[in-house]
Structure 1
Amino acid sequence: MRNSISDESRFLAMILQRYPPLEAVRNYAFGRSKLVGGGEFILQEVMLADRDGSDWTAIFEIRLLDSGVYKVNGIRLRPNRANRGI
C-alpha cells in the first residue's frame, strides 16, 4: 500500500527531512544529462552549494509517465568530494 501525501507542505517537509541540503541552496548549476532507453527516463546531474557552503551533487531521475508528462521519480544526493558524474 502506498502512502498518500495530502498537501504540498507535508510533501516539502518530507523532502527536506530526507535531503536537508536542498532546503537553502546558495548556488546551483546543471551538469550532464543522460537519456535512458528510448527516453523513458532521464538522469539529470545538478551541482549545488548549501547554506554552509558545502558542495553536493544531486542526480534527479525524471520518468516519462503514460500521460506524456515527465515527473521527478527520485533523487540521489551525495557530498561532492570528487565528481564522478552519471
Structure 2
Amino acid sequence: MSTIEFSKAQKDGLVIKLQRYFETELDQDLGQFDADFLLDFFAKEMGAVFYNQGLYDAQAILNDKVADISDAIYEIEKPIDI
C-alpha cells in the first residue's frame, strides 16, 4: 500500500482538530509542528487499519448490492415448461 497523503487543506483541517482535541480533552497545548508530526505518525502507523476497514465496509456493501441484483434477476425469470 502506498503512503496515505492528504491535501494541504485536509492536513490543515486535521491538524486543527488534533490541536482542539488536545486542548479540550487533555488540557494540553499542541503546537502546529507537533500536531503535524503526530498526524503523520497516525497516518503511517495506523492508517492502513482504517484504510482496510473502509475496504471491508465497501466490500460488504457491494456484496449486499450484488445479492439484491441476483434476487431481482431471479424474480423476473420466466417459467420454462419442458
Q: TM bucket by the smaller chain? A: under 0.3
Comparing both chains, which one has the higher relative contact order based on Cα–Cα distances under 8 Å and sequence gaps of 6 or more?
2
TM-score where L is the length of structure 1 = 0.24
Higher strand share: 1
